[in-house]
Amino acid sequence: MNDCIFCKIIDGSIPSYKIYEDEHVYAFLDIACDAVGHTLVIPKQHCINVLDCPKEYLDAVIEAVQKISRHYVEQCGFEGVNVLNSSGSAAQQEVFHLHFHIYPRKKGDGIDLPVRTKKDMDLGKVQQSLKMF
């Protein structure tokens, strides 16, 4: 889709901090810089949300969310994750390409969801510590 920011990230016309990629899924750091490791997981096929996503892609996205979440806990020192999705404008969906947010968590990290504050961080360094390729 020509005007979809996430489709442009998938096709490489907008740069991103890739964490994971497979045939159906692309995952990258959220540029909001609101929490270390805040990751977006999206299908490579454009769909608006969970309501219109083909099963093959939705299954692949959920499997990737689990794989990335396990990686963050088992290899990156996090103690848990929050996984969030908003489907539809009434649910506060802002980018109309299906996506799941992964917030890696540590006890006492001071994150209250939804996150609304920016933190000063180098996304390149965060990417290097979290990527799966």
For the chain, what is the radius of gyration of the CA atoms? 14
Which residues are the active-site residues? 99
Per-residue pLDDT, 1 = 61
Per-residue pLDDT, 118 = 77
Per-residue pLDDT, 67 = 98
What is the mean pLDDT of each successive set of 10 residues along the chain, which is 133 residues long? 91 98 98 95 98 98 98 98 97 97 95 78 93 91
β-pairing verdict for 25-29 and 39-43: antiparallel
Give the whole-angstrom CA distance, residue 30 versus residue 66: 18
Give the whole-angstrom CA distance, residue 83 versus residue 79: 14
Per-residue pLDDT, 123 = 93
Give me the amino acid identity at 71.
H
Per-residue pLDDT, 116 = 72
